[in-house]
Structure formats: structure tokens, C-alpha cells
Structure 1
Amino acid sequence: MKEIIDPNNLPQHIAVIMDGNGRWAKKKGAARIFGHRNAIQAVRDVTEGCAELGIGYLTLYAFSTENWARPKAEVDGLMELLVQTIRKETKTLIKNKVKLQTIGDADRLPESCQENLRKAMEDTADQERLTLTLALNYSGRWEIVEAAKKLAALAAEGKISPDQIDHDLFASYLNTNNIPDPELLIRTSGEMRISNFLLWQIAYSELYMTDVLWPDFRKKDLHEAIIAYQRRERRFGKISEQMKP
């Protein structure tokens, strides 16, 4: 599949809703955390696959604000797994020239998670091949509300006029202000939902839903998603005739 990808028509930014870990584990008669542990290889494959193709940005939906409502044992297991994975994978990120960053309200994460994230981000800060963004304790609605609060405070203080607030100014106060909007959004496990992910940023993203459960997702699945993306015509509200050179 990789050989038929057009290198001149790659998405600059791919976002992924990693779904299906629990169902994958259930099929094997195991606890949900078993699925989360076996999903690490999928993260490795997609990260390496994007880096190999020259895609500059990859954003993974790792933990939403709504995920706190899951059973405590699962949440605790996820947090522990996050710490272990970050410690283990930082050297590999540096080797592959991958910069790590996060979006979301990280202050609510356990202190051990915050410390390991800070160190990993510091250690990879100079890497430029690929920017890997983990969405942790994140939701699109939360992000939009937070941006609105900041702009409202500036307006109340007289530092900006409400008339100055436009798309560009608003976007500059989002968590993703330093990365481009994703051209391609992938969701695994066959679900047809956005699940409160990058609501502002995916206004014109191409959506690709696959039945593959996240622990089984590999580079070939990434390649199939990109090929599907390349077969589409992105019109941004225009008609086909307007898009022709």
C-alpha cells in the first residue's frame, strides 16, 4: 500500500481517535487494561509510519475529560501505563527525531504523569521530524470554553475590542495554536462519532472510519487511510470546477 501513496498529496497533520481497546480485550477474555497495554504497538506503528512518510504532525486522543467517569481501576491502570510508556519510549522518540507535546488540562493528571510528561517534552523539544501531540484530559468543548474565557477577560480589561475577535484570533487561544488543523481524522473500531475531539480544528478535515480495533491498527492501516484521503476531492465549500487548475 505504501508504494501507491502520492508523496505530493500527504496530509500535513493526522489526528486519531484511538478506539476499541476494551472490545479487543473482551474478545480475548481479558480485562480492559489488557487492551490498553496491547495498544502501545499501534501507537509505535502510527508514529513511525507518519515519520517515514514525512507527515509533520500527529495528534492522538489518549484520554478525554469524560474518561474520568470510567471504573477507577481502569483509570488508575491507564495513568500507570501512561507513566511507564513515556519513560520507556522517550529514547525512541529522540532516536526518531519526534517532538512530544500535549493538549488538554494536564493539571488534573497525577503528579507522576505530569513530571514524566514534562521531562519527556523537555528531552524531545529540539526534535523536528514529527510533532506528536497527546490529547490528555482533553475535550473540544472544554478547549473552546477556555479560549472564550481568556478572550472575554481581555475584552473586560479593555485590552481588546470584541470586534477584534475573528477566526484567527480565536484559534490563537486554543491549545493547538502552534500546530495546523488536521486534514485527516482517523477513528478506529467502526464507531461513527467525533467524541468531543478537536471540534474547532476538524471543520474541514476528511473523516476516515475503520472497523479495525486500535490494538490491531498497523502501518498498513495508516497507509489505507491516507490512500482513501488522497482519493477524495477537498473543496472547502467550492464546487469541483473551481478546484481545477
Structure 2
Amino acid sequence: MPNHVAVIMDGNRRWAGSRNFPIVFGYEAGFRAFKRLIELACNWGIGTLTVFAFSSENWCRPKAETDLLMGLFERILRFELEHFMRENIRISLIGDATKLPKQLQSLLVDAVEATQNNSRLHLIVAANYSGRSDVVQACRKIAFKVKDGLIDPNDINEYLVERELETSCTDFPHPDLLIRTSGELRMSNFLLWQLAYTELYFTNALWPDFGESEFLEALCSFQQRQRRYGGNL
């Protein structure tokens, strides 16, 4: 069983469009799929679950849609925090939270603080996240440390870069498995550094349709692979 699973939850809008439903119905259905995924991860002993909730590129969508998403995030945090506490789920956030609505920022801070000692499942939410920006900000931090004489340029290595990535503070190994739904075969600027040796799994299922059988299929695919990390056969 993979210890850390990352998921790109794609296809909410297409799910709604294929049924001639308003977009909000797709996101509501996607939230139900999200809750199912958390429950399954808890039951099957997966230690860390990272979900791509909102990309920094998603701001280019119509304002009515982004407002809808931000409101949904707020509702989830407001009404699901008690459930997360009861189920011993820890919440962490990666991404530039300063661009999120102030009320949502406050709710996120409260959720992270309230759940920091929970240990059954570590749920990491990527919101207003960009893999490229994550690497850039890590390089910027290292550059300032070089400027201040704290480190020598010759000492810069992968370990130093990883330590400055946003994920450095969440104490988890890199993902073992990445799942992307909706049939798209790309990474979409998600965890670009961290996915270097992650097993990739793509499914045609739209995110709201991703349930137990689809998750099992992804896990079985992972279990059948040989992870050599560039080594010999």
C-alpha cells in the first residue's frame, strides 16, 4: 500500500456539462467524491493524502466560478472540521494562501492549528498552488541565505532545495502514487519536484465518478509495479 497518494481531482465541470447541470452541481458531486476518498484512505491505512484543490492558474476562470469554489472551500472547512477532529485527520496547506479570501485564510489557519496533533491521516490541500512557483520561491530563499553568508553556493544540493520547498514543513515523504482523473495525461504544474520518482496513474473517470472501485484499481496498478529509482532491472 502506498504511504503517500497525491490526486489531481479533474473533471467536475465536464461531469456537470455532460448531464446539462449547472457547474455548481459538478463541484458538489466532486466534494462528495473527495469525502469518499478521505474515508477510504483512512480505512486502508494510507498515511498521507495530497489533493490539488485549486491551481494558481485557475484564477483565469470566470469570477463567478472562482467565487463558487472559494465559498465551497469555506463551507467544507466550517462544517467538516469537527469530522476531521473526530477521525484524527491532520490538515496542512501548500500554496500561496495570501491570495485567498480573508475569511477562508482564517478558517485554514484555524483548521491547521486545531488538527496539528492528529495522526491517522495527513491531508495536505494544495490551494492557489503552482509547482513552478514552489521551486522558484525555494531558490529565492536559498539566494538570500547565500547573500547573507549563511551558506556557500558550493553547498547547494538537492537536500537544500527540498528543505526550502513548501512541502518541507509538513514532514512527509514524496508521493508514492499520483492519480489524475478525467483522461488528461499531464501533470498541470503539480508537485513538479516531488513527483520525480512517483508512479503515475491516469483514469478516464471524471472526478465525481471516482469511487472505491476506481481507487482500488489505481492501488492494484501501483502494487504491480517495480520501483527501481533508476537502478538495474
Quick one: distance in 2 between partners of 1:65 and 1:26? 23
Which residue is 2:191 aligned to?
198
Quick one: which amino acid aligns to residue 57 of structure 1? T
Quick one: distance in 2 between partners of 1:133 and 1:39? 17
Which residue is 2:144 aligned to?
153
Tell me, yes or no, if structure 1 residue 237 matches structure 2 residue 227.
no
Select the residue among 182, 207, 213 that pairs with 1:220. 213
Quick one: which amino acid aligns to residue 64 of structure 2? A
Quick one: distance in 1 between partners of 2:148 and 2:208? 49
Spell out, residue by residue over 1:191-219, the C-alpha distance to the aligned partner (whole angstroms, 9 max, x if none).
00100000000000000000111011112
Q: How does 1:30-109 map to 2 (within 5 A)?
A: 30-109=21-100
Spell out, residue by residue over 1:129-176, the C-alpha distance to the aligned partner (whole angstroms, 9 max, x if none).
110000000010000000000000100111100111111111010011
How many pairs does the alignment contain? 231
Name the SS of the counterpart of 1:191 in structure 2: coil
Name the SS of the counterpart of 2:167 in structure 1: coil
Moved over 4 A (4+): none
Quick one: distance in 1 between partners of 2:37 and 2:213? 9
Tell me, yes or no, if structure 1 residue 183 matches structure 2 residue 181.
no
Which residue is 1:4 aligned to?
none
Name structure 2 gaps, 5 residues minimum: none
Q: How does 1:105-144 map to 2 (within 5 A)?
A: 105-144=96-135
Quick one: which amino acid aligns to residue 221 of structure 1? E
Shift of 1:232: 0.7
Select the residue among 203, 207, 218 that pairs with 1:210. 203
Quick one: which amino acid aligns to residue 131 of structure 1? H
Shift of 1:38: 1.3
TM-score by length of 2: 0.97
Quick one: distance in 2 between partners of 1:76 and 1:209? 29
Quick one: distance in 2 between partners of 1:114 and 1:130? 22
Quick one: distance in 1 between partners of 2:115 and 2:78? 12
Quick one: which amino acid aligns to residue 181 of structure 1? H
Select the residue among 16, 25, 39 that pairs with 2:7. 16
Which residue is 1:6 aligned to?
none
Quick one: distance in 2 between partners of 1:213 and 1:30? 15
Quick one: distance in 2 between partners of 1:44 and 1:214? 12
Shift of 1:16: 0.2
TM-score by length of 1: 0.92
27-36 vs 82-91, which moves further:
27-36
Quick one: distance in 2 between partners of 1:227 and 1:140? 28
Spell out, residue by residue over 1:4-25, the C-alpha distance to the aligned partner (whole angstroms, 9 max, x if none).
xxxxxx1110000000000000
* % identical equivalent positions: 45
Name structure 1 gaps, 5 residues minimum: 1-9, 241-245
The CA RMSD over aligned residues, in Å, is 0.8
